[in-house]
Structure 1
Amino acid sequence: MADKNKYVCLDDFENDSREILEASRFSYFSDGCNEQFTLKENREAFKRYRLRPKILRDVSNIDLNTTILGERISWPVCLSPTAFHRMADYNEGEVATARAAASVGSAMALSCVSTRTIEDVAAVTPRGVRWMQVQFYKPRAQLEVLIKRAEKAGFTALLVTVDQPKIGDKYSIMRVKNALQFQLQDHEKPVNLPKDNYTNGNEIISKFDDSATWQDVKWLKYFTKLPLVLKGITTGDQAKNAVECGVDGILVSNHGGRQLDYLPATIDALPEVVAAVAGSGVEVYMDGGVRHGTDVFKALARGARAVFIGRPIIWGLTCNGYEGAKQVLDILKDEVEKVMAFMGCRNVNEIEPSMVVHEDYYRKCKL
């Protein structure tokens, strides 16, 4: 068992994971596509924003509670869908992730290529907030089956990935060994797709429907009564299209820099999307590069209702299974609460856009 006292921030888990995971699997989780510009920019962009606190306010009681799609969560951080959790945690995989999320009052989005069943995850989190991530598949009947299972298991929303018609190239992996071509061990195979004996990632990718359009989103809206959240939107025009299709939420995401390089950092793209859906009732969330409590605060100030994290949970699972995943969330939650106190905010409703400014604000200031 890992020494939990050695981990003081989320990056510590990634550093250890590099030594624990087999190289191609670490690369699969960690690397971005092509030059990895977007992967790096997601994190670097946060550093360009400065905090403007309100001081001498009574912050003896901090309330992080909020809601997403009307469901209460204990703090505004949720878990993005990531595939193959049993690559990181042989024994439990997504079950450990779900338990960790529920233990701290976070919502979890389960990947459609998870290594534990929809029903397994539902069983260990009977009162947890669970969303099901889906993509458009061919044949479409595969998607229909997946949705019906999620509905029956008590998942409360569909998170629809819309920015992945194909798979982006990852130079760093291709030069050594393509992580999408390595042979999946039995415990690493996706178990929720109708054909559950995939041996490598390319077989999974072949089922993605690269002909899907906005009409398919409209079809999905009528097929299920679950709320729809579209994941992978980075522009105002895309957001307006989503509103026209009747979606309930948008997750501003560039897929963690994994698919298309030179997309904007999500913290930069966020306000444009928020402005585009203003007055529609559509909620806006964000993922990409969140590693610190200050990152969470900056995203909330710039318009996100909640933020989602992906890779840090994988690193927590790798280091110590359920306990590692929970520690990742505990550390981040503690950081968010302290940032709220320093910023003079007793609850998320007191966070104001003026509390976060781009560094250029100070360069342009004239005394």
Structure 2
Amino acid sequence: MHQRTSLAPLALLLGLAAAVGGCASSAGTVTDTTAIDTIMQAYQGEVPGASVLVIRDGKAIVRKGYGLANLEDHELATPATNYRLASVTKQFTAAAILLLAEDGTLSLDERMRQWLPALPAATDAITIRELLTHTGGLVDYEDVMPANQANQLRDADVLHLLVAQDRLYFAPGSHYRYSNGGYSMLALIVERASGLRFEEFLKQRIFEPLGMRDSLAYVNGGAPVRHRAYGYSEGASGWTRTDQSLTSAVLGDGGIYSSIDDLARWDAALYSDRLLSKQSRELAFHPWTVTDDADVRYGFGWRITGESLWHSGESIGFRNVFVRYPQRRLSVIILSNRNDPEPYRLALAIARHYLID
């Protein structure tokens, strides 16, 4: 059986406060969030907002929304609001590959052309493992999009663009270069190996088993995003809705929508064998390669800095970050529907309040 045992209901698992937007201590009582509110001050009021979650020892000690998920309709951001995760999606794409490896359907050291034979000869040596760690050397698909591109790209369109690029930036495995196209190719490999559309594989093998009922890889014309946040960018005349770009429909590198409540379920699953085996989790969290920042390593869909595992996500109108300190049993998640600021430093500032306890 592919499906693992579902997690307990989130309210039971995390001891969440009864009031939406409240904060809960381990005893379930409302606690003071003045310091967190100060850090998140820019997100408060009639502006694009954010949802913030702090989990310590399996319990939500901060679970709160700030500002608005939809400016036009004045809808508040809440813990149930779903944001486009952008590159936070990559950890789920990597997990999908690891599940297929556990099934014996594919091997991490197989060549990607075994699954995507239309790719040019220059890509022949690239392995699935090198796609996961951004060491394949693929050409950035954003740089070779036609200047007159009018319709949104899908993962299959990314493949079409890369088929025409019989060149690499470097020999596979020799360097690191962050590659959205690599994760798009991983999504297509999931489809070829499983026989399911990528969005359906995520639903059947990850979201449903973990009770992530409102999470999905969004496809135009497919299932709607419930409690959806819309993205905005700030200009001289104020905030303008900038929810979608030409690359927003590419799923493997950034197409998942989720909420802090659903990500709490995902975070809990990463401490046990509920979804991924211990071996798979160790592979995902291993510092395989040095990134552009000498202090940061890259695993499979995760960055590793010291004792922390994290990933940010940036796309038009959205800025997100998910930071875990597994040895401390502490996680901080910030999802926001605006183009600025990048919230990684905000998450670190929030984490410091709990790391010193």
Bin for the TM-score computed over the shorter chain: under 0.3
Greater helix fraction, Structure 1 or Structure 2:
1
Q: Give 1 or 2: higher strand fraction.
A: 2
Q: TM-score, normalised by structure 1?
A: 0.24
TM score, norm. by length of structure 2: 0.24
Higher RCO structure, 1 or 2 (CA under 8 Å, sep 6+)? 1
